[in-house]
């Protein structure tokens, strides 16, 4: 009898030219470009083009992409009305899942197939998701949504539309880098969900809806918010050692430490810790707690290193972004990767249909209903 691989760990389920994750050496590439180079030299919009087209854009192509996103960023009155009708205590990722599905109804090209159509749908979603996240946050707090500014980037509009005031350039730059770092990461759970949906020849909106629903799960998205909740609960540097000690005694996970793929420090975490020191400063309460937690965890288990979520929460928190928006911002970045994988899947498609090993009983005797207990 064959042995099932739990969680498909180590199973190669697709070939891709999009992202390479080298867990043993802590390396990450998008379409062959090291993540460190993209974080330093690129923008989120340029990275979105890179993933969707598998090459860097010309100046004209990048301006066209920005313009298309900007034109598709505003929500319709119907979309805003739907957000008003959703209960204000709804989970943000559930709201995003609903709205991604709905905006597909307003796209006349939603059912049209081809990489050019999917490219435009992806850009439309990048724009719409910015407005969905920010409008939802304001509506549920009794505020009116803020209209986007065509002159601002995705990162700039996120901050502007949340606050209603022009963001600082350094804030926009930091958030832009964070979007780059979350844009793609190989065949993770949500990306796999998008490829499975695409493999049935469903549309891109269905694929992204499936991906959003998958990202909502606690074992995939949301770890950065839970890291921040952990740091708030610890409260001070002096409590960090005891917290980690108790977590190990109770066989509990220290949020943000360790990764399914990386066996060394997540390269995105290396970038973020530098950004955090530069942006927030060396003497920040929650960053200092994070350093203590990291060191105490690593001392007990040397092969546990910070992942991308360990420091991203502190940066979002410093910007004043509510905790339950963190996973939605993850989706804002990752939609470019989801769409890129969907396009790649469609270009060399085969229905994804793995086997399940049946472990139940066979040939059970039938019991008449009157004799069942």
Catalytic positions, written as ranges? 259, 309
Residue whose entry in the numeric block shows the structure tokens 């549920």: 140
Task: State both tokens at 95.
Answer: 């709201």
Task: State both tokens at 185.
Answer: 């990461």
Side-chain-facing half-sphere of 264: CA atoms under 13 Å = 10
Task: State both tokens at 291.
Answer: 């350093």
**Phi, psi angles (nearest 5°) of residue 76:** -75, 165
Task: Please list the residues that pair with 306 across neighbouring strands.
Answer: 257
Sign of torsion over alpha carbons 282, 334, 297, 313 = positive
* Strands 27-30, 19-22: pairing kind: antiparallel
Dist CA 343 CA 329 (whole Å): 22
**What is the tally of helices (H) and strands (E) in the chain?**
16, 3
Dist CA 255 CA 293 (whole Å): 10
- How does DSSP classify residue 367? -
- Concatenated DSSP letters of 207-246: HHHHHHHHHTSTTTS-HHHHHHHHHHHH-SGGGHHHHHHH
- Concatenated DSSP letters of 80-100: HHHHHHS-TTS-HHHHHHHHH
Reduced to 3 states (helix: H, G, I; strand: E, B; else coil), residue 259 is coil
Note whether 107 and 121 are within 8 A (CB): yes
Helix 92-103 × helix 115-139 angle, to 10°: 140
Helix, strand, coil: what percent of the chain each, to 5? 60, 5, 35
Reduced to 3 states (helix: H, G, I; strand: E, B; else coil), residue 19 is strand
Residue 194 contacts by C-beta under 8 Å, 6 or more apart in sequence? 207, 208, 210, 211, 338, 339, 341, 342, 345
């Amino acid at each position: 009898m064959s042995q099932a691989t739990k969680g498909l760990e180590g199973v190669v389920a697709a070939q891709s030219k999009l992202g390479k994750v080298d867990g043993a050496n802590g390396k990450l590439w998008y379409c062959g470009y090291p993540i460190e180079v993209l974080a330093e030299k690129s923008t989120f919009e340029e990275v979105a083009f890179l993933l969707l087209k598998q090459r860097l854009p010309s100046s004209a192509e990048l301006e066209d992409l920005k313009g298309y996103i900007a034109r598709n960023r505003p929500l319709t009155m119907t979309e805003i009305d739907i957000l008003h009708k959703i209960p204000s205590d709804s989970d943000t990722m559930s709201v995003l899942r609903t709205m991604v599905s709905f905006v597909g109804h307003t796209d006349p090209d939603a059912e049209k197939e081809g990489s050019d159509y999917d490219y435009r749908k992806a850009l439309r979603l990048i724009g719409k998701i910015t407005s969905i996240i920010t409008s939802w946050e304001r509506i549920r707090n009794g505020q009116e949504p803020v209209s986007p500014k065509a002159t601002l980037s995705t990162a700039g509009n996120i901050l502007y539309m949340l606050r209603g005031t022009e963001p600082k350039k350094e804030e926009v730059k930091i958030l832009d880098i964070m979007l780059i770092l979350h844009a793609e990461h190989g065949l993770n759970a949500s990306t796999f969900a998008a490829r499975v949906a695409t493999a049935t020849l469903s549309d891109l909106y269905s694929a992204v809806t499936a991906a959003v629903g998958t990202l909502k799960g606690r074992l995939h998205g949301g770890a950065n918010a839970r890291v921040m909740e952990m740091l708030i609960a610890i409260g001070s540097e002096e409590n960090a050692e005891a917290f980690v000690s108790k977590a190990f005694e109770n066989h509990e996970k220290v949020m943000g430490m360790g990764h399914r793929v990386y066996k060394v420090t997540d390269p995105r975490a290396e970038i973020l810790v530098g950004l955090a020191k530069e942006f927030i400063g060396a003497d920040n309460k929650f960053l200092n707690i994070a350093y203590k937690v990291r060191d105490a965890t690593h001392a007990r288990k040397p092969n546990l290193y910070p992942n991308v979520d360990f420091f991203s929460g502190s940066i979002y928190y410093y910007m004043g972004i509510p905790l339950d928006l963190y996973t939605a911002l993850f989706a804002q970045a990752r939609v470019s990767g989801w769409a890129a994988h969907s396009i790649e899947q469609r270009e060399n498609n085969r229905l994804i249909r793995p086997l399940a090993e049946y472990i139940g009983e066979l040939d059970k005797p039938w019991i008449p209903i009157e004799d069942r207990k």
